[in-house]
Chain A
Amino acid sequence: MSMTDNDSSFDQNGKRLENAEATSRPIHAKQREAQPKGAIDRGNKPIDHAEAAKRFLAAPEHLKFHDERLWDLRQKRDKQMHGLPEWEELRSLASAIKEHTLTHLDTYLEQFEAAAIANGATVHWAKDGDEHNRIVLGILRDHNAKTLIKSKSMLTEECGMRHFLTDQGITITETDLGERIQQLDNEAPSHVVVPSVHKLRSDISDVFARTLGTEPGNDDPHYLAESQRMTTRPLILEADAGMTGGNFIIAETGTVVTCTNEGNADLSANTPKLHIVSVGIEKLLPRVEHLGVFIRLLSRSALGSPITQYTSHFRAPRRGAEMHIVLVDNGRSARLALPEFWTSLKCIRCGACMNTCPVYRRSGGLSYGFTYSGPIGLVIDPTFNKHKFSNLPFASTLNGSCTNVCPTKINLHEQIYAWRKVMADTHEVPFAKKTVMQAAGVVLGNPKLYRAAIATADKALFSLPRFALYSRMNAWGKGRENPATPGQNFHVWWAKNRAAKAATAKNGAVKS
């Protein structure tokens, strides 16, 4: 612990705590800096991730903090993994349980519905985001409810629920701190687990000073969090209805499971007389006994914490209260029909693939232009709108780290590559990328041309002026330096150092 570590919380023995989404060491920005905003939404026009990433890269304080903060979560995750000898077995089990459930999704959905109804809950089905929003509005109108408190839900973000309900006169209060920050700043979440991770404390201080009336310039995270607690609590106590998402739902028992740290989901569900659950149809598990595998993996993968502070199981409405569950498809059944991409439905939204992704860490979640960013976003966003998100599968180095950390073993980097092929086949690849790719295809497919090209390129990289190397045709040169070229390529090195030896060894082997 450093002498300046005044922010941290400590356990009863004086040891620095790093549970929940806390960092394992203090990570601070050195100075204030304007927060880079996300990708520009141009309707159905393709999101320009590279353009937004460039602006993120141009904000060094935000970039450095974001990169270190998320890499720290990845390292905390590794520490948890090493502490659990059955880690790989749990990943295999999680993958197999999800694959079984998804290949029997119809029967498990029916079983869930029957169990939930038997428990006294009401079950609704929504084909898409619009129908989901209309159903929720209908439930609220039926109960004359005008105020809604809710916990964080990526599904309601995906459906654009907050804007819809606000336009219909419903007052919504997000009760998760990170999501509340984003709501008050009128900005989408940038990460599925830590929605405001792209913001520095100074950004949050400015948002709260503007919207909650906190002391301008007071950056103390404890003061800011306490201000949010004190201003949100009255809204929780007076709300007409509460809403949560669901991390898992159980077919056997009709149970909805949420995993949270703040206690806000439990307050949202338990305080008002009406609890609405919005949940995607892919969140199903067959039986309670399967839940253990996922609870043990989720928070360890997401935050490097052995479990969230609260693991809550809502099986039936409280006496005198109502529970409504909205099961949402919104493209999931169509995704199930895609042979190369259906296993992306195994995702439990832990964010581990985002935390480990070098592109995500250096571009920020908002540059992807949709609720889901990072590797999982590259894979599922195009299923919502192939044209609008046609650039996203190229926002990856295909290093495979995402696949390695995924708790349900989704082959993310292979699906990203498969999407590139789909985009190329359906003419969704931009002109510059396509022209270069075609040229690359010709060159890479012919060994002699390739060697000649490499020799030329190495010489060219030494001698070409910057304006030629960092032109609009070279996407690699945007936001980064071209790698230094070795003095000699591998083929030349091999011919000089190994070819003779290899020939001798081969001849020797033939003789004996």
Chain B
Amino acid sequence: MSSRDDILGAIRRDRPAPLPLPDVPMFDEGRADDLLGRFTAAFTMMGGKMLDLPADGDPLAEIRARVAKAGVVISMVPEVAGNTVLDPELMPSKLENVDIAIVRAAFGVAETGSICLTERELGVNTLGYLAQHLIVLLDPADLVVNIHHAYHRPEIHAARYCVFHTGPSATADIEGVLILGAQGVRSLSILSLPRA
């Protein structure tokens, strides 16, 4: 007998009497308003930076200014250009010299301040971790109320890799002192900008 058969056999022999599976409510009553405000509050609490929208003028001005001063910048969005083009066949480890990566979120979660990225948004998955800084464009129309709604989105079923980022990489393993930039990006900035 294989280990598989042994394990399944032992479970079948000894499992407790079956118990029912409950339905999971969406828990969204009274929380569907001001999604961007809720998102911003949650996101900044997790160490993320919301970029300001100028009252008039170019909403991308701040990002363009950062790109101009940076080293290698890879942009996966049409709204703003980087200075290096991503080869999707590149070995993931080759992205270690990226200074800034710019991507668009598949969607965002207001409850937690999370943004969703998949291999489609990232091009090469390590872009979201090896880059020193990550800038994300988020269409406020792509916000869902909470995590329950997020798990009814198609991305989780369709993508090979699907990740929620909630702020930059962080650690507090040394005496509980919070450090932003553990192994992944040192900063995560979000600009609220409708899809082109």
Contact = CB atoms under 8 A, between A and B. Distances in A.
Interface string B82-124: 0000000000110010000000000000011110000100000
Contacts of B8: 106, 109-110
A309 B174 contact: no
A311 B163 contact: yes
A99 to B, nearest CB: 5
Interface stretch (B9-17, B53-61, B63-71, B73-81): B9-17
A224 B174 contact: yes
Nearest to B5: A125
Interface string A244-261: 000000000101000001
A117 interface: no
B184 interface: yes
Contacts of B119: 318
A263 B174 contact: no
Max count, chain B CB within 10 A of own CB: residue among A27, A236, A288, A292 = A292
B172 A23 contact: yes
Most chain B C-beta atoms within 10 Å of own C-beta, residue among A21, A131, A253 = A21
B12 A266 contact: no
A307 B114 contact: yes
B59 to A, nearest CB: 17
A21 B172 contact: yes
A424 interface: no
A261 B46 CA distance: 11
A93 B45 CA distance: 27
Contacts, number: 287
Interface in B140-194: 146-148, 150-152, 156-157, 159-185
A288 B166 CA distance: 19
A311 B160 contact: no
Contacts of A318: 119, 125, 160-161
B93 A317 contact: no
Interface of A: 7-9, 11-13, 17-23, 26-29, 65, 69, 72, 86, 89, 93, 96-97, 99-106, 109-110, 119, 125-127, 131, 175-178, 181, 194-197, 200-201, 204, 221-222, 224-226, 229, 232-233, 236-238, 253, 255, 261-264, 266-267, 270-271, 281, 286, 288-293, 295-296, 305-319, 327, 329, 333-334, 336-337, 339, 342
Contact of B176 (A22, A204, A267): A22
B169 A289 contact: no
Given A106-B15, A267-B183, A22 B177 contact: yes
A12 B44 contact: yes
Given A19-B45, A100-B20, A312-B164, 17 more contacts: A69-B175, A93-B24, A103-B16, A177-B173, A201-B175, A233-B183, A237-B93, A253-B156, A262-B170, A264-B183, A296-B146, A310-B165, A312-B163, A313-B159, A315-B156, A315-B161, A334-B14
B163 A261 contact: no
Given A175-B183, A262-B182, A313-B163, A22 B172 contact: yes
Contact of A97 (B14, B22, B165, B183): B22
Nearest to B147: A292
Contact of B11 (A21, A96, A267, A336): A336
11 contacts: A20-B170, A21-B172, A103-B15, A125-B4, A253-B157, A289-B148, A289-B151, A296-B146, A310-B164, A311-B164, A334-B10
